[in-house]
Amino acid sequence: MSSVDRDVRFTFDGRELAAEPGQTVGAALVTNGVTAWRGTRKEGRPRGLFCGIGVCFDCLVTVDGVANQRACLVELCEGMDVRGTLAGDETEETR
């Protein structure tokens, strides 16, 4: 894809990135080379997309302050603030 198409800007853990319109948050991260963004609760192991269709909840991410959103389902919007839980930041909520 050309850089002209990548015109939706968003931030991931404060880093400015851009992706193609109509992509999911998960796809926007992966196409930017970010393959993992959630740290597991026990071991802090990296996780990203797995089932890709909203079944496994592995790709949970915080979107505009709302925690535990499935990155594979949320459509990316201009200016979105996307945050993961990998950077030693234990914010993942337990139910």
* Chain residues that interact with another protein, rule: CB under 8 A: 1, 20-24, 26-27, 30-31, 35-36, 40-43, 45-58, 60, 63-64, 66, 68-70, 72-75, 95
Cβ of residue 71: shortest distance to another protein, in angstroms? 10
Q: Count of CB atoms within 10 A of residue 11's CB? A: 13
Q: How far apart, in whole angstroms, are the C-alpha atoms of residue 57 and residue 86?
A: 15
Q: Which is nearer to another protein, 14 or 22 (CB)?
A: 22
Cβ of residue 37: shortest distance to another protein, in angstroms? 9
Cβ of residue 6: shortest distance to another protein, in angstroms? 10
92 and 60 Cβ atoms separated by less than 8 Å? yes
Q: Which is nearer to another protein, 16 or 22 (CB)?
A: 22
End-to-end CA distance of the chain: 40
Q: Are strands 66-70 and 60-63 parallel, antiparallel or unpaired?
A: antiparallel
